[in-house]
Structure 1
Amino acid sequence: MTKNNPNTYIRFDWAIKRLLRDKANFGVLEGLLTVLFNDKTKIVEILESEGNQQWEEDKFNRVDIKAKNSKGEIIIVEVQNTRELYYLERILYGTAKAITEHISLGDTYQQVKKVYSISILYFDLGRGNDYLYHGQNRFIGVHTKDELLINAKEENAIVQKLPSEVFPEYYLIRVNEFNQVAKTPLEEWVKYLKTGIIDPETTAPGLPEAREKLRYYDMTPEERYAYDEHINAIMIQNDVLNTAKLEGHAEGRAEGERNKQLEIARKMKEMGMTADVIAQVTGLAPGEIETA
Structure 2
Amino acid sequence: MKAKYINPYTDFGFKKIFGEEASKLLLIDFLNALLPEKNKITDLTFKNTEQLGEVDIDRKAIYDIYCENDKGEKFIVELQKAKQNYFKERTIFYSTFPIREQAERGEWNYNLKAVYCIGILDFTFADYEHAPQKNEVVHTIKLKNQNGQVFYDKLTYIYLEMPNFGKAETELATRLDKWLYFIKNLEDFQSIPAIFADEVFAQAFEKAELANLGPVELDKYESSLKIYRDLKGVIDTAFDEGKLEGKLEVAKALKESGVSGEVISKATGLSDDEIKRL
Normalised by the size of structure 2, how large is the TM-score? 0.71
Greater Cα radius of gyration, structure 1 or 2: 1
d(CA) in 1 for partners of 2:209, 2:88: 34
Q: Would the alpha carbon gap of residues 202 and 32 (structure 1) be closer, same or farther in structure 2, given more than 3 Å must change?
A: same
d(CA) in 2 for partners of 1:119, 1:275: 13
Partner of 1:283: none
1:81 and 2:80 matched: yes
d(CA) in 2 for partners of 1:68, 1:29: 11
Q: Is the 8 A contact 2:95 2:115 kept in 1?
A: yes
Partner of 1:102: 102
Q: Would the alpha carbon gap of residues 76 and 265 (structure 1) be closer, same or farther in structure 2, given more than 3 Å must change?
A: closer
Q: Is the 8 A contact 1:42 1:67 kept in 2?
A: no
Q: Which has the higher contact order (CA 8 A, sep 6+)?
A: 2
Alignment counterpart, residue 143 of structure 2, candidates 112, 122, 137: 137
Q: Is the 8 A contact 2:47 2:68 kept in 1?
A: no
Q: Would the alpha carbon gap of residues 246 and 94 (structure 1) be closer, same or farther in structure 2, given more than 3 Å must change?
A: closer
Root mean square deviation, CA, Å: 3.6
d(CA) in 2 for partners of 1:243, 1:68: 39
Partner of 1:253: none
d(CA) in 1 for partners of 2:12, 2:193: 19
How do 1:170-181 and structure 2 match up within 5 A? 170-181=157-168
Q: Is the 8 A contact 2:102 2:112 kept in 1?
A: yes
d(CA) in 2 for partners of 1:98, 1:278: 20
Alignment counterpart, residue 268 of structure 1, candidates 254, 257, 261: 254
Question: Sequence identity, in percent?
Answer: 19
Partner of 1:239: 233
d(CA) in 1 for partners of 2:249, 2:224: 21
d(CA) in 1 for partners of 2:202, 2:67: 22
How do 1:245-284 and structure 2 match up within 5 A? 245-247=239-241, 266-269=252-255, 270-271=258-259, 272=261, 273-274=264-265, 277=268
Q: Would the alpha carbon gap of residues 186 and 226 (structure 1) be closer, same or farther in structure 2, given more than 3 Å must change?
A: same
Q: Would the alpha carbon gap of residues 23 and 97 (structure 1) be closer, same or farther in structure 2, given more than 3 Å must change?
A: same
C-alpha distance after superposition, 1:145-170 (max 9, x if no partner): 8x4xxxxxxxxxxxxxx6343x4111
Partner of 2:69: 68
d(CA) in 2 for partners of 1:173, 1:42: 23
C-alpha distance after superposition, 1:156-197 (max 9, x if no partner): xxxxxx6343x4111001223222214022111112222225
Normalised by the size of structure 1, how large is the TM-score? 0.68
Structure 2, unmatched stretches of 5+, are: none
May I ask how many residue pairs the two structures share in their alignment? 246
Secondary structure of the corresponding residue to residue 76 of structure 1: strand
